[in-house]
Amino acid sequence: MSFISDHHHLARALYDLGESETYCIITDNLSDERVDDFWKRMEGNNRVYLKDQNGKIITPSELPASIKDLSNDPFRSLAGAVRESCGFEKGDKSSSSEDYLEFQWADYLRAHWAQTDIPTKDIDTNFDNAIDAALHLAAQKDAANLPGYTGKISCD
């Protein structure tokens, strides 16, 4: 049994493009672990994020069994775009507050999205407008407690 613990969005994008091979880094071999011990170790090592595309807590058995089964989380996509536009930044990788940084920001955007005039179902089709709205949400003072907060709405 193998699991991708990082860059799974990239893996899904490659899958969607028809790529059948890519490179990976094996970080650990836990093949001798019992299933329950495996998941305890994965959680203990902070190698699994047990929330679905709606921010709902899930169990390991509810994780997609294949890259092709990954669901689209438009707020996770927005969080990545906000980071690329300097709306937040990755800092100290050794800090536990940096773990799942983009997922934390996705949860924040999801919780505050009603402040925008863009329906969630329209995020992907109006992505540029959604990025602008997400950047303004990310610059609000109530986002200041999130790791990487910059207060910026652009890199300029």
**pLDDT tens digit string along 40-66?**
988 888 888 888 878 789 999 999 888
26 pLDDT tier (thresholds 50, 70, 90): confident
90 pLDDT tier (thresholds 50, 70, 90): confident
Q: 146 near 115, Cβ under 8 Å?
A: no
Strand partners, 51: 57
Other beta carbons less than 10 A from residue 63's beta carbon: 15
103: nearest Cα among 70, 84, 78, 131 = 78
87: nearest Cα among 147, 127, 7 = 147
Domain residue spans of the chain: 8-69, 74-143
Percent of the chain with pLDDT strictly greater than 70 = 94
Q: How many residues does the chain have?
A: 156
Tokens of 41: 């170790």
Residues contacting 63, CB < 8 A, separation 6+: 3, 48, 50
Q: Which helix (H) or strand (E) holds 107?
A: helix 101-112
Percent of the chain with pLDDT strictly greater than 90 = 54
Tokens of 107: 């949860």
Strand partners, 149: 88
Better-scored residue on pLDDT, 121 or 92: 121
Determine the topology of domain 74-143 in CATH.
Helicase, Ruva Protein; domain 3 (1.10.8)
φ and ψ at 9, to 5 degrees? -65, -40
Better-scored residue on pLDDT, 4 or 121: 121
Tens of pLDDT, residue by residue over 96-144, are 556 678 889 999 999 999 999 999 999 999 999 999 999 999 999 999 9
Is residue 92's pLDDT more than 70?
A: no
CA 83 to chain CA mean position, Å: 11
At 140 the pLDDT is 97
φ and ψ at 81, to 5 degrees? -70, -40
98: nearest Cα among 28, 156, 49 = 49
User: Strand, coil or helix: what is 68?
Assistant: helix
